[in-house]
């Protein structure tokens, strides 16, 4: 079963992003998908948290990150929507890109930093 991209709707894609919105979305994602792991891996110059989300239990680790610069805020919802689709597919026994989500989960650990520069995103 392929992932229904329209049903996954926690991550908004039609609003400007902020560090506060990111925190709220992460909280909602973790409530819906308790197998997501979250951590604050640092703080920005202005003291905003830098979050990491992880999914999977495999030995092969893959890292994605987004929003390095102020005008790259749009990469945050794109990356989080991908994560949401993967998590929804895992919950429903679906596929992502033609690959069983459970296979990805068992063989890979995906680490995501959705907003590397929350201060810059706040400026944009």
Which pair of tokens denotes residue 118? 């929350």
Task: Encode pLDDT of 63-102 as tens digits.
Answer: 999 999 888 889 999 999 999 999 999 999 999 999 999 9
CATH class of 19-58+65-123: alpha beta
Mean pLDDT (whole number) for 18-32: 96
CB 16 within 8 A of CB 122: no
Identify the residue whose tokens are 């749009």.
74
Q: DSSP code of 70?
A: G
Identify the residue whose tokens are 């894609």.
13
Cα 46-49-101 angle, rounded to 5 deg? 150
Residue 3 has pLDDT above 60, yes or no: no
Residue 59 has pLDDT above 70, yes or no: yes
């Amino acid at each position: 079963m392929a992932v229904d991209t329209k049903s996954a709707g926690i991550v908004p894609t039609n609003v400007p992003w902020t560090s506060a919105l990111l925190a709220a979305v992460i909280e909602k994602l973790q409530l819906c998908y308790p197998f997501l792991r979250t951590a604050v891996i640092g703080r920005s110059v202005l003291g905003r948290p830098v979050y990491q989300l992880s999914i999977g239990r495999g030995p092969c680790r893959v890292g994605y990150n987004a929003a390095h610069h102020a005008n790259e805020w749009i990469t945050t919802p794109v990356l989080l929507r991908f994560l949401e689709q993967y998590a929804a597919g895992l919950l429903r026994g679906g596929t992502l890109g033609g690959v069983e989500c459970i296979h990805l989960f068992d063989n890979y650990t995906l680490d995501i930093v959705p907003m590397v520069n929350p201060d810059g995103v706040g400026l944009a």
